[in-house]
A and B are shown apart, each in its own frame.
Chain A
Amino acid sequence: MPMMIQEMMWTRPPQQAMAKNTFSSEFRNIDVDQYNEDNYKDDDGEPQSPPIGVDEATIVSLMNAGNHADALKLLLANAPVASKGKNEQAKDMALNLVLKVLLSVNKSQMDQIISSLDKTQLDVLMKYIYRGFERPSEGSSAILLIWHEKVYNAGGVGCIVRVLTDRKRV
């Protein structure tokens, strides 16, 4: 009898025979690569909140006054650019406003407006033109094509390449 009790003290229940965390094989389902420190992180140091979009009323009032150039410049200066997936709502609202302005400008004014924009603003404008192409509506693509040609003449191939490679999407 004493021998049997001693044996019972030595044998433990199977769950505690080895270290507890290897009993389940859930660890095989974890993707270890995501914890790799070398992984590319899209938003290196972006704690600052993106600039708040422009108020719609100001844009509408500027457009009604016929001052499309200023409306466009205001929108471009405050464009909410961020990496993909962030701040989508602000980006969509800004896109709608920009498209409204772009579609209401007529050809003669386009040259004037484009010549008054600087390089960074041209890049942002090109980004908006490409985003506008994604949602074609009645006649919009034709006007956007004219805008695209004029901005390309002003900005060159570099403008388009910057749209393709910039991680901050508009």
Chain B
Amino acid sequence: MCLHNFNSQVVERHNKPEVEVRSSKELLMTAVVVSRNEKEKVLIEPSINSIRISISIKQADDIERILCHKFMRFMMMRAENFIILRRKPVQGYDISFLITNFHTEQMFKHKLVDFVIHFMEEIDKEISEMKLAVNARARECAMEYLKRF
């Protein structure tokens, strides 16, 4: 993750993450996808002063789809506290991170990488846990309700 400070070439005195602006071809590097299967993939778009990492999470059925959607929305609404999270995911993916050179200057690079990897590992676990909890609660509710009959 080599990010350098780079002032905007288009507008004077501005400093924008080039991967978001996409104004000059020479500042963007090849976007790379790493996929485990058709459902799970990670898109990495590097540029000279910023990286965008987009994750597509495995969603096997409707419940997981809803849970994932709500969970991601919860986190993206609090994106300011996450610092590197992007408020809207890139088209086709579930969640996106935007890391700029300012972040790498303030935080350890290897810690940022560890965070993203840890995030990817935990997400699947958390969603399955939530799904189990939802099913358990639904079962309890149904049992209590049907005891009347």
Contact = CB atoms under 8 A, between A and B. Distances in A.
A165 interface: yes
B26 A40 contact: yes
A40 B25 contact: yes
A91 to B, nearest CB: 13
Contacts of A169: 30
A6 to B, nearest CB: 54
Contacts of A164: 29-30, 32, 46
A141 interface: yes
B30 A165 contact: yes
B5 to A, nearest CB: 18
Contacts of A40: 24-26
Interface stretch (A19-27, A98-106, A112-120, A130-138): A130-138
Interface in A53-83: none
A141 B36 contact: yes
Interface residues of B, number: 14
Interface in A129-165: 130, 133-134, 136-137, 141-142, 145, 148, 163-165
Interface in B33-48: 33-38, 41, 46
Interface of B: 24-26, 29-30, 32-38, 41, 46
A165 B36 contact: no
Given A136-B35, A141-B38, 16 more contacts: A40-B25, A40-B26, A42-B26, A130-B34, A133-B33, A134-B35, A137-B38, A141-B35, A141-B36, A142-B36, A148-B34, A163-B32, A164-B29, A164-B32, A165-B30, A166-B30
